[in-house]
Amino acid sequence: MSSRILGLDIRNHGIFVVVVHTGLKTQRVEAHFEVPLTGQGEFKDQLSVAVSEIVERVDTRDVFCQVALPSDWIVYRNVTVPIKGRGKIRQILPYELEPSLAQPIEGFTFDFKVAATIEPGNESHLVVSGVEIVHLQTCLDVLKEAKIDPDLITAGSSVLAGCLSKVIDLAAQTALVSMGKRTCDIYLLLAGQIGMARTFRLPSGERSDTGMIGAYLNQTILAFEERFNLEFDPETVYLNQVETSSQNDTIIDLKENNGYQVEIVDLAAAAGMPVHPDTATWHPQRMNNALALCLARIRNVKTFNFRRGEYGKRLFLAEWQAPLLKVAILAGVVLMLGVLSLVIDGYYTRKNLNRLDQQIVAVFSSTFPEVHRIVDPLQQMRVKIQEEKKKSTPIAGVNRDVLMIDMLNDISRLIPKSIDVTLTGMSFGVENMILSGHAGQFKMVNDIRALLEKADWVDAAIISSANQSKSGRQVDFKIKLVFSKGAVHQNV
């Protein structure tokens, strides 16, 4: 199923826009452009005008929207807490952050990432990103007026830092320097994950500020090493600079003055993302962050997201409305087929039951022809069988209070396995029964007699005969077991 993703990289001077079309096997940049923030009024008014122009140029229906807020709105902090579990961390996070903020904590909303690549021990090392609620609400209000409901609202260039490991084989320690017109974002990456983030505001926004980037990077590395007692030496510093005119000065500062290996970021090339040929000239340094917003959804990049809690996306099922409708229709069809199957199975089951009933009636009639009124043939047959059982005489015409199976059980139980004996016959009389068999020795025959005499239903055990067999290897015997009075009586 194809979809379209709209990335809006909001800066103080404009919005960089990238639209990516995704299919089952391909993704491509469908459109990209910059809308400057100009005109009279406050920032909200300028943003509203720019968003309206975007809506005119891009069909925003059925798109997934991802937004990055201006870097100078963002604060980053590193926090260590003695607990684990995201729910518990969110509860105590405001209290941990409050001492480090110049403004009241109530005016901010936060999100965090656990720096899993830093040895946690029994603690959780967090990289926290925050934005003032008034700025976030301004962005949400403007987008709502344009009928855009973003799924992700993230912090500055943090999404670009998160995407690098998805498209580039990063070293264990690297850094991203992302420069705008007024700010410089620095992200220290450990195994592709953000370990520390800082935003520096450029004093003048002029070209001369590029000479300070190396100092900002060194300050961030020093802060990291002091906090975690872990040496950080980035193998490569990746550079993304919106104003490419001063890019060479930045590279000189980082490479020649500070000794870092520098590589320019071209996210589209690294991700193998083709750009539609009918669009304007692609400027990687300007569009990298907006493209990263789109890639974050495609590559499932976990980044900061301020759309949580009170500011969360309330209609989160809207994007699944069409698929859910198809699933509901399919489920309805399956349900109807299931009901139809039950009806057909019921019909054939009733047909089989009728056939079986007819067979039972036929068997009953042939077995008991004297019965002419047949209502419930199965139950009537059970009753007739019980009646016949009562009329029948047990073996040898006797009726025993002790069941035959109990007698056999006692015989088996009383004769131990250590005695070499094989029972070959058993005959019942009115008052006794005779056991025939073979034993290994004459003494065993006498032992068997003594053991069987212990049975409750035996009054006496008598050896009727005990003779050496023709082979001379065993003794053939017969033992008469006289029934106790009351155990067996004549049927009357």
Instruction: Mark whether 311 and 223 lie in a shared domain.
Output: yes
The last residue of a domain, from among 391, 422, 438: 391
Please state the domain count of the chain: 3
> What residues are paired with 153 via a beta bridge?
67
The last residue of a domain, from among 262, 289, 316: 316
CA distance linking residue 261 with residue 234, whole number of Å:
8
Percent of the chain with pLDDT over 90: 55
What is the reported pLDDT for 122?
75
What is the rounded end-to-end Cα distance, in angstroms, of the chain? Answer: 88
Lowest mean pLDDT among 114-123, 342-351, 403-412, 482-491: 482-491
Strands ordered across the beta sheet of 124-132: 74-81, 124-132, 108-114
Residue 233: domain span:
3-316
In a domain, 322, yes or no: no
- The secondary structure element, H or E, covering residue 143 is helix 133-145
Instruction: Mark whether 415 and 310 lie in a shared domain.
Output: no
SS3 275: strand
Instruction: Mark whether 70 and 172 lie in a shared domain.
Output: yes
Q: Are strands 108-114 and 124-132 parallel, antiparallel or unpaired?
A: antiparallel
Instruction: Mark whether 258 and 372 lie in a shared domain.
Output: no
The last residue of a domain, from among 391, 423, 439: 391
Q: Are 179 and 250 in contact (CB under 8 A)?
A: yes
3-state DSSP percent of the chain in helix, strand and coil, to 5: 40, 30, 30
In a domain, 51, yes or no: yes
Most confident of 287-296, 299-308, 389-398, 477-486: 287-296
Lowest mean pLDDT among 7-16, 28-37, 117-126, 421-430: 117-126
Where residue 375 falls among pLDDT bands split at 50, 70, 90? confident
Where residue 317 falls among pLDDT bands split at 50, 70, 90? low
243: Cβ–Cβ under 8 A, 6 or more apart, which residues? 179, 181
Q: Stretch 8-33: mean pLDDT, rounded? A: 92
- The secondary structure element, H or E, covering residue 160 is helix 158-167
Instruction: Mark whether 139 and 172 lie in a shared domain.
Output: yes
Instruction: Mark whether 423 and 438 lie in a shared domain.
Output: yes
CA distance linking residue 350 with residue 408, whole number of Å:
46
What is the reported pLDDT for 318?
54
450: Cβ–Cβ under 8 A, 6 or more apart, which residues? 461
In a domain, 321, yes or no: no
Instruction: Mark whether 40 and 187 lie in a shared domain.
Output: yes
Strands ordered across the beta sheet of 63-69: 27-36, 14-22, 3-10, 63-69, 152-155
In a domain, 461, yes or no: yes
**pTM of the full predicted structure?**
0.64
Q: What is the CATH number of the domain that holds 304?
A: 3.30.420.380
CA distance linking residue 129 with residue 136, whole number of Å:
13
In a domain, 245, yes or no: yes
Instruction: Mark whether 68 and 125 lie in a shared domain.
Output: yes
Q: Are 93 and 87 in contact (CB under 8 A)?
A: no
SS3 215: helix
